[in-house]
Amino acid sequence: MIKLKPLSYFKAVVEHGSVSAAAEVLYIAQPPLSKALSQLEEEWGVRLFERSSRGMAPTEAGHYLYQCACALLQMAAEVEEEMHAFGEGQRGVVRIGTVSMGIPRVAQMMQAIRQRRPELSFSLYQGDTGHLEELLEKQRIDLALVHLPLTSSEVPIVMTPLAHASFRALCHPGSPLAQHSTLSLKQLIPYPLTLLRRKSGFGVYEQVLQSFAKQGLQPQVFADASDIPMMCYLAQQDMAIALLPVLPKDRVWEGLVAIPVPELDAVADDLVMLYRTQQENRPALRAVVEYLKQPNDVSAQE
- Calculate mean pLDDT across residues 132-141: 86
pTM: 0.61
Tally Cβ neighbours within 10 Å of residue 252. Answer: 20
- Of 298, 291, 284, 188, the C-alpha closest to 244 is 188
For 90-163+270-299, CATH gives 3.40.190.10
CATH entry, 4-77, from 3.40.50.1100, 1.10.10.10, 3.50.50.60, 3.90.1150.10:
1.10.10.10
pLDDT band for position 298 (cuts 50, 70, 90): very low
Tally Cβ neighbours within 10 Å of residue 88. Answer: 10
- Interatomic CA distance for residues 228 and 55, integer angstroms: 43
Which positions ≥6 away from 161 have C-beta within 8 Å? 270, 271, 272
pLDDT band for position 152 (cuts 50, 70, 90): low
What does the mean pLDDT of the chain come to? 85
Q: Could you check whether 4-77 and 90-163+270-299 share the same CATH topology?
A: no
Q: Where are the domains of the chain?
A: 4-77, 90-163+270-299, 166-267
Q: Which of 68-77, 107-116, 145-154, 243-252 has the highest mean pLDDT?
A: 107-116
| H/E run at residue 280 | none
**166-267 domain in CATH 3.40.190.290?**
yes
